[in-house]
Structures are given as C-alpha cells and as structure tokens.
Chains A and B, each alone.
Chain A
Amino acid sequence: MSSNAKLLTLDAGAWPDTYGEMAKPRMGFFTDTSICIGCKACEVACKEWNHVPEDFKGFTGKSYDNTLHLDADNWRHVAFIEQRLPAALDGDTATESLVQIAARRELEEDSGLDTLQEGEGLRWLMASDVCKHCSHAACLDVCPTGALFRTEYGTVVVQADICNGCGYCVPACPFGVLSKRKPDGRVWKCTLCYDRLRDDKEPACAQACPTNSIQYGELTELHERAEARLQEMQDAGQTSARLYGAHPDDGVGGFGAFFLLLDEPEVYGLPPDPVVTTRDLPGIWASTGAAAVALAVGIAAACIGGRR
C-alpha cells in the first residue's frame, strides 16, 4: 500500500526533518531481559525522577509482580514469569535428545551466558517493560491536540501542558502503554527522561539498572550491540533468545525501546505482531468518505424520490 508507505515516511519525517539542525541522534533503550535480576530499581528510579504517584495494587499473587502493567502511574514495569520447562527449553528444539541437550547446556555454561535452571527444569524470567517509542507511533498520530509529539531525539513524549485528556491515545496504543491518571485527567507515559536528555544524562531507569539490563544510547549503536548479543547467545546454544522490536519492517516500524526476550512476546504480556493502527488510516478515510457519499445519496434519494 504505497499511500500507507507514504504516510509512514512522513510520520518518520517528524524526526529528524522538522528539527533541522536541532535534530539529535535518535536515542533509545535496549532492554536485555536475559540479565534482568528483577530488582525493580527501574520502576523506583523512574517514579523518583518523574514524580510518578504510587499505585497500590496489594499482593497480587503473580510471582513478585505487584505492578502488573504499564500505565499512567507505572512507566516501567518488571514482569516475573516462573516456568517449568521440559527437557528442551524451546519448542523448536523439543526434538533434541537428552544427550544433545546436555551438550548444549555445557556449551552455555562455559560461555557464561546460561540463565536457565535446567537441573530443576525451572526458570524465572524477569523483564522490564517500558514505552516502545515506536518509529510509527499510533498515540502520536491520533493525538488531536499535538500534546503527543516526536522530540528532537526521535522519542515520543506527552506534553502535560497541552494534553486535555481526550483519551484517544489510550486505545490507540498496541502495547497498552498509556492511560489516564485520576484525578489529574491527563494521560502520562515514559518520556525517556526528555529533560535529562537535554543535559546529556542517562534516563533514570537506565542509570539505576544494577546489571545494565537496561541499556541507553544511540539506537543505531544499540542495534549493533543487540545483534552481537543475540549471535553470542545463539552460538552458545541458547536458542530461545530473540530480539523484539529491533526491525524497521515490523508493524510499527521498529521500536525506539526494544528488547531481547527468552520466550514469545505474549508470555511477557507483549503483542507478538503489533501494528500501528494508522497504517490502515487511508483505507479508513476512504470508507468514511464513501459512507458520507452514501449518506448524501440516501438523503437525495429520499427527497427527490418523493417528487415522483
């Protein structure tokens, strides 16, 4: 759909084109969940820096996760997944013989990349989720006021001084990142610490992260790092590793904040094939126009028909 492609390139054009010489390199996050220790420092550092209010959900019984989802009051969320694993730790190698598995395990351990407790057939996945700062961001597209905009760093930010709480971005986001804060009335989400970036400071979560699971930097450089890491794990036989949001040809044109996951995205509460809804907007406008014409015709028919 060439018209969509056109729309998307224009969307991307918001950065760097509209900033001219003020444009900065596109900054983002690479969250390597294979080294996340689930300490939640990112959640706390974020709330501290951005003065995000507390949000008590009580004891949820969902492993160590008492935050559950990203929303206006949680801009970082650490997911905890306790898994019993069969001998083979991923489906596509489920046919491995125990000997093959043992060999692969040895390889993994020597490489120091192993994060799985095969001995007990148990693993505990932890992953820090955050706004994806999509290359083609639905929230940004649908915002009627321009409260949401793409910054000179290529990130997507809600401007609290503009947002009037129309709530359109909330169902538009394919990741469910945004929501309205009560009683404030406006929507809030990760700004990738827009203000800190202005002073060349790391975003609060990335700076705090004890194991450097959250890595901040120029997106192009992060992509190289991630590819290398993936290859490393692949070579070590840790075949469950995958990159999520690192590819410009996915439904949102790639993420500004992408991930290395050890299982399918939906296991972490992430959509496996997110699509920016506005990719279909030309078609939607066409139908809307057609419907409007149909309505006009109907009215005309109703009136003129009466003459006969």
Chain B
Amino acid sequence: MEEGNGKLTDHLPPLLRQLKDPLGLGRAAQSRHSARLVPRTQTADKVVQSVCPYCAVGCGQKVYVQDGKVTQIEGDPDSPISRGRLCPKGAASEQYVNSATRAKKVLYRAPYATDWQEIPLDQAMEMITDRVIATREKTWESEDDEGRPLNRTRGIAWLGGATLDSEENYLIKKLFTALGAVQIENQARI
C-alpha cells in the first residue's frame, strides 16, 4: 500500500483524479485516510496467546494490547482445537475484560447497612484474615465423638467458579485444607 501513497495522483483533488476514473467509482474517490488504513492488530504494542475464559472447549485467543489496554481479542489460528474460530461469547471477550461496569474497588457492606462503602484493599484483607482466624477457632472440631481426629472446621465454606486457573485452585485447596476448612466446593458440581 505505502508506495501507492507516494503517487502524485493521490494528492490531487478527487475531481482531477477522475480524469483517470471518469465515473469516480474507484480510486479517484479513495480518501487519504482510506489509502493509509491499517488494522489496529498491526500497530498493537504486543500480542499474547491466551485461552477463552467461557466454556471448556478451550479455544485459543490472541490478545492485542496498546498503551496498556486490551484493544482486540480474536481467535488464534494456531490452535488445533479451535483453528482460529470463536463463538459469540469468545468473540465478545474484549467487551468482557473492558466492561464499563467492571468492579475496580473493594466494597464493604456492614451488618444491617443499606448501602456499600469503599474501603482500602489492605484493610479488607486484614478484616477478612481476622474473621477467618476467629471463626476457625470458634468452630474448630479436633475429634469426633468416637475420639478419632477430625482437625477441621465446618464454620467456613468456600465456593469457587470453574473459571479459576488450576494454579489458583491448587493454592486454594492447599491453604484451606491446611486451615482445616473442608467445605471447599466448586462449579464442577453445580
């Protein structure tokens, strides 16, 4: 395309270019912007290979990034499973990650409160940590009525979605098992 842009004729007004395109249906009508058009995927800062977060087909995705923002997500033609194709949900991934309604701040609702309040992330983590420790202590079961060890609490339940990474599930199972919290469940059942 580029060498084309250099052409003198491209800089003439369309009316004059019509000398070579009498009906003015083709190149004479092309605007300068159109002549220089390139896809944003070509000008992206980087592209990373990813996997669709929706169903478990596991379609390959290519995520294009410009100025620290995701600008396009499309199918990865290299994937042997999806061969570059995506369903409507996968194709909407960019809107999903850039959603205007996406939550960005920690919210806290006090008991009996009628509305949210924003609190700092660190404070929230501290509060949660305290509640985990207190609830665990309060509801600990060291052994069953036959005196056999239980080492557990049923005062804390955990329910996870199946869109978490395996590495995340691993740390969660590891931590909560060590905490003695046995009521660990996920979407796989539901």
Contact = CB atoms under 8 A, between A and B. Distances in A.
Interface of A: 10-11, 13-15, 17-19, 22, 39-41, 43-45, 48-49, 140-141, 146-152, 157, 159, 161-162, 193-196, 198-199, 201-202, 204, 207-210, 212
Contact of B37 (A10, A22, A148, A194): A194
Contact of A41 (B14, B33, B38, B86): B86
Contacts of B120: none
Interface string B72-111: 1111010000001111101110110000000000000000
B21 A18 contact: yes
A14 B92 contact: no
A152 B1 CA distance: 10
Given A207-B74, A207-B75, A195 B23 contact: no
Contacts of A199: 38-39, 41-42
14 contacts: A10-B23, A11-B25, A18-B27, A44-B88, A45-B74, A45-B86, A48-B95, A161-B31, A162-B31, A199-B42, A202-B84, A208-B85, A208-B91, A212-B85
A285 B100 CA distance: 53
B37 A195 contact: yes
Interface in B33-77: 33-34, 37-42, 72-75, 77
Nearest to A7: B23
Nearest to A148: B29
Q: Which of B40, B73, B74 neighbours the largest number of chain A CB atoms within 10 Å of its CB?
A: B74
A19 B85 contact: no
A254 B137 CA distance: 77
B172 to A, nearest CB: 32
A146 B28 contact: yes
A163 B153 CA distance: 68
Contacts of B30: 149, 151, 159
Contacts of B40: 195
A212 B75 CA distance: 13
A11 B23 contact: yes
